[in-house]
Homo-oligomer: A and B are copies of this chain.
Amino acid sequence: MFSDTLTNIVLEKKSPLCLGLDPYYSRIPEHLKKNASPEEAILKFLVPIIDACSEHIVCVKPQLAFFEIFGSAGFAAFEKVCMFAKARGLLVIVDGKRGDIGSTAEAYAEAYLGKNRPYDALTVNPYLGSDGILPFVKKCVENEKGLFILTKTSNPSAGEFQDLPVGDELVHENIAHAVARWGMDDTGLSGFSSIGAVVGATYPDEMEILRREMPSQIFLVPGYGVQGATAEDISGAFYKGGTGAIINSSRGILFAFEDYENPEKFAEHSQKAAQEAQEELWAVTQ
């Protein structure tokens, strides 16, 4: 099952690092864009980076928006990137933040958690309640896939609704309880559920509370690196030994080449950045 597979790979590679694939077109090296369609340039950029980083990372997290912006051609590039990552032994977490109800949720679940698709997990939004989540959970159980439910996000205005007080707890704590409940029946030998939570790195105090509220959830943690959180800020997400959390870094790795004068070596710069992040993150978990 997803949670066990993920946990095994983390321990084997000594890495909790997830490479976020946010291919901002304007930041892709110029030489890759010459005589290439945007979709081709995205592939020429991401494929060598995934290849170079693969020993340091556990999974990739393609951000669908950056592919959808190029319509069906962009979507085709997304499919190819995911197939390449799978061929490199990486897990693929689709960051779509989808959320809908009933038969529509079933359609999204089949689209990204279907049996023969090159994707292992999906991020989803819980605002619609159980009707919006259970069709995804069902598909995860059937096909040994994973889910990461937005609980507390990493952005500055995350608290606007997520931190509204409901009695003596906050909206996102209420959601955390639901996530723990939704994930109860999909827990593996590792002790972790395949139904995980997105918990931003930028609110370290809340992370420790949420770790207690959702003891069996794997946390997908955005906000490390460019968004401002340090490895120390994140340490509360892990269990001793390095399990329980996957830390995403996107721009810090993808665009590492921007600090240097040789953009044609972009993949090597990404590899170094990934290695540094891996070592820094693993150190705080031991």
Contact = CB atoms under 8 A, between A and B. Distances in A.
A94 to B, nearest CB: 10
Given A99-B97, A161-B127, A132 B107 contact: no
Given A127-B125, A165-B166, A68 B155 contact: no
A126 B162 CA distance: 10
B129 A126 contact: no
Contacts of A128: 150, 153, 155, 157-158
A158 to B, nearest CB: 6
This protein's copies in its complex: 2
Interface residues of A, number: 56
Interface string A38-78: 00000000000000000000000001011011011101101
Interface in A91-145: 97-105, 107-108, 110-112, 114, 125-132
Interface stretch (A170-178, A186-194, A207-215, A262-270): A170-178
A239 interface: no
Main SS class of interface, A: helix
A113 to B, nearest CB: 11
B126 A161 contact: yes
A174 B79 CA distance: 39
Contact of A68 (B97, B103, B108, B166): B108
Contact of A155 (B24, B75, B131): B131
Contact of A160 (B105, B160, B164, B178): B178
Contacts of A126: 127, 161
A202 to B, nearest CB: 11
A158 B171 contact: no
Interface of A: 22, 24, 63, 65-66, 68-69, 71-73, 75-76, 78-79, 97-105, 107-108, 110-112, 114, 125-132, 150, 153-162, 164-167, 171, 174-175, 178
Which 10 A-B residue pairings sit nearest by Cβ, starting from the closest? Answer: A129-B160, A129-B157, A72-B76, A65-B107, A72-B75, A101-B155, A131-B155, A130-B157, A69-B111, A131-B157
